Structure 1
Amino acid sequence: MSPAIYAIAAIIIGFILLTWSADRFVGGAAATARNWGISPMLIGLTVVSIGTSAPEILVSLMSAIQGHTDIAVGNAIGSNIANMGLVLGLTALIAPLPVKSALAKREIPWLLFVTVIAGACLANNYLGLTESLVLLAGLFVTLYLMVIWQKAHPEEPLAEVEEIEELPSSRAYLELIGGLLLLLISAQILVWGAKEIATLMGISELVVGLTVVAIGTSLPELAASVASAIRGHHDIALGNVVGSNIFNLLAVLSMPGLVAPGSLNESVFSRDYTVMLAFTVLVAAMAMLGKKPKTLGRFTGIILLTGYVCYGAWLYTQVV
């Protein structure tokens, strides 16, 4: 078998294992927290929120540890671009997405603020320990604010909190630890496959991180959002994307600077961050401006998808 086949197989297997192990890890963590007496609301806003970003976090962490910082950074920024252009675009085409008032007042403005902070950390084309600690501090502030907002307005849930499965402590620990170990292994498999694809095709690791890895780690959000829209629960799709993007910038983007501080490809800020910022401002404007109640309809979906296709074409012209 050719090296390309092995690399593609590694990427596919890595994505499958990442998705399954993340589900086990989140389930085990949530059940463990419940067994410790933590409220379901707090578990949903903290443990589950961070846990659903576990694939992106582990991929970025393993990439940075192995010296592939471009894959790690590309994964974080590319996932946000894919979430807004691909996930929201496709979901809005299926069904209009209502914008909840709590989302427009709190989470979307906070995403804009976090995006600006991330830009300030990337502006000098260097991601070091200081920048990563700033992003991590933002993560803890975000979790604190989410809890405060939820307690102040329990009638406006910030996220869809699923029923937490009751598991014996031994089973919960097993799923928590086993899921984490498998996450580490599958992330390493995926990073190896992505690195090999970049080498064999002669393209930069940054582009692979922005496309193959980012789209792959965004597939769970895409599947969940499309499934929710088909079932009529399309009101949670926008909130899931906004929450995922906040955690990607704070928890995922901070990983490379923690373990492998260093210079970044100049395209990260001048091209990719700029595109991510443009998508964020566009989604925020569509969700917050104009008459209320707001919805993101099919026209919005066409704009977002078109923007994502144009971004992909831009990347293609720079690698051929």
Structure 2
Amino acid sequence: MTALLLFLGGLAALVVGADLLVRGASKLALGFGISPLVVGLTIVAFGTSAPEMAVSVGAVLEGKTDIAIGNVVGSNVFNVLFILGLSALIVPLVVNVQLIRQEVPIMIGASLLLLLLGLDGRVSAWEGAMLVVLLAVYTVFLVLQSRRETQAAQDEFAAEMPPLDAQSWDARLPVQLLMIGVGLAALVFGSQWLVEAAVTFAKAMGVSDLVIGLTIVAAGTSMPEVAASITAAVKGERDIAVGNVVGSNTFNILGCVGLSGLASGDAGLLLSQAVLNFDLWVMLAVALACLPVFLTGREIARWEGAVFLLYYAAYVGYLILAAQQHDLLGTFSTAMLSFVLPITVITLVVSVLRKPGGLA
């Protein structure tokens, strides 16, 4: 019961902390005359990934590297399969092709880079620094690119973040700085509570820190992305709904893994054999799956959202069966590889070929 309360308290602190951080930083940026589009592409997108960063770095500092890497990998899988799947199931998401052709390849490139860096079983401090530098370059690129965006794109983000009202309670600089400070503190304490509770759960359930990181912690730290994407989908703001997920995945790899690698010092961020043999490949496969899905008529249809959700359920089911070394593991794996995956691939190929303009 204590662990459950600690987990729920940590999760609440992460969600509230991320919200305060994003609100404070957004108001501060708007107060200095930065456009809503730039704020949306940088502060809001990265702010929703702040819980993942806090938990991963905190886990590394406590020596729980499996939770750190499991949180990032699990969050990326959760973001695409669960969040986009659920969002598309509620409202089919019409996707801006130009956005997808840029952001998805960058996400795939980041996923592939992490896989290559981890082949030796760890992400060293200098490799972590390289990832952080790449994140800085990516952020600068987004800011420069935003200056060439159309008025429609500017209006879309402005609707999410209206101009700062000088009479509002959060228009003053001290209030904005206080929100940022309290948000950061909540993230720090929330991450500590969540990691501590996750370790307790792992011991009680007889499963590894890695499985807990890939499932419970990953889903918990992705709650800001869930709220942001579903809200945007319901409002019809399709680019924000999809861009939030894809941008957060890129930030998780470059920012969370990069800072975790730096925090690990000389030892480096260690990657278990299970992550190298399975989970990193699943993360890369999920990233690659976005391309054909998005190209089928330039939308994520409801049936594709349902497939995403089913695959996430299958992924979690596999992790649980593997952790328990259950007798059904072999049958489950055979069914997925022999029937479910081939049928899905064939369906996607047929959809691409049948829908006019799908590959345009």
Query: Does TM, normalized by the shorter one, top 0.5?
Result: yes
Q: Is the 8 A contact 2:18 2:224 kept in 1?
A: no
Query: Does residue 179 in structure 1 map to residue 199 in structure 2?
Result: no
Distance 1:45 1:230, change over 3 A: closer
Q: Is the 8 A contact 2:45 2:244 kept in 1?
A: no
Q: TM-score, normalized by length of structure 1? A: 0.91
For 1:242, the equivalent position in structure 2 comes to 246
- Inter-partner Cα distance in structure 2 for 1:298 and 1:52: 25
Task: Provide the alpha-carbon RMSD of the alignment.
Answer: 2.0
| Deviation per residue, 1:178-229 (Å, 9 max, x gap) | 1111211111111111111112222111111100000011122223323333
* Structure 2 stretches lacking a partner, 5+ long: 166-170, 325-360
Among candidates 46, 70, 74, match of residue 70 of structure 2 = 74
Q: Which moved more, 1:45-54 or 1:269-278?
A: 45-54
Query: Does residue 264 in structure 1 map to residue 271 in structure 2?
Result: yes
Q: Is the 8 A contact 1:53 1:244 kept in 2?
A: yes
Query: Does residue 157 in structure 1 map to residue 131 in structure 2?
Result: no
Distance 1:31 1:230, change over 3 A: closer
For 1:126, the equivalent position in structure 2 comes to 122
Paired residues for 1:99-114 under 5 Å: 99-114=95-110
Q: TM-score, normalized by length of structure 2? A: 0.82
1:203 is paired with a residue whose SS is: coil
Q: CA deviation at 1:21?
A: 1.4
- Inter-partner Cα distance in structure 2 for 1:85 and 1:92: 10
Q: Is the 8 A contact 2:74 2:214 kept in 1?
A: yes
Q: Give the partner amino acid of 2:243.
A: G
| Deviation per residue, 1:45-68 (Å, 9 max, x gap) | 323332221111111111111111
Q: Is the 8 A contact 1:203 1:319 kept in 2?
A: yes
- Inter-partner Cα distance in structure 2 for 1:153 and 1:211: 37
- Inter-partner Cα distance in structure 2 for 1:307 and 1:10: 30
Q: CA deviation at 1:272?
A: 0.6
Among candidates 115, 121, 124, match of residue 111 of structure 2 = 115
Paired residues for 1:25-44 under 5 Å: 25-44=21-40
Q: Give the partner amino acid of 2:285.
A: A
- Inter-partner Cα distance in structure 1 for 2:269 and 2:87: 37
- Inter-partner Cα distance in structure 1 for 2:310 and 2:142: 32
Query: Does residue 50 in structure 1 map to residue 46 in structure 2?
Result: yes
Q: Which moved more, 1:130-139 or 1:221-230?
A: 221-230
Q: Is the 8 A contact 1:64 1:255 kept in 2?
A: no
Q: Is the 8 A contact 1:55 1:183 kept in 2?
A: yes
Among candidates 7, 16, 21, match of residue 20 of structure 1 = 16
- Inter-partner Cα distance in structure 2 for 1:160 and 1:121: 35
- Inter-partner Cα distance in structure 2 for 1:49 and 1:296: 20
Query: Does residue 214 in structure 1 map to residue 212 in structure 2?
Result: no
Q: Give the partner amino acid of 1:195.
A: V
For 1:315, the equivalent position in structure 2 comes to 319
Q: Is the 8 A contact 2:37 2:157 kept in 1?
A: no
Query: Does residue 199 in structure 1 map to residue 203 in structure 2?
Result: yes
1:111 is paired with a residue whose SS is: helix
Give the number of equivalent residue pairs. 313
For 1:274, the equivalent position in structure 2 comes to 281
Q: CA deviation at 1:267?
A: 1.2
Q: Is the 8 A contact 1:95 1:234 kept in 2?
A: no
Identity %: 35
For 2:354, the equivalent position in structure 1 comes to none
1:318 is paired with a residue whose SS is: helix
- Inter-partner Cα distance in structure 2 for 1:247 and 1:139: 7
Q: CA deviation at 1:242?
A: 0.8
- Inter-partner Cα distance in structure 1 for 2:22 and 2:231: 20
Q: Is the 8 A contact 1:150 1:156 kept in 2?
A: no
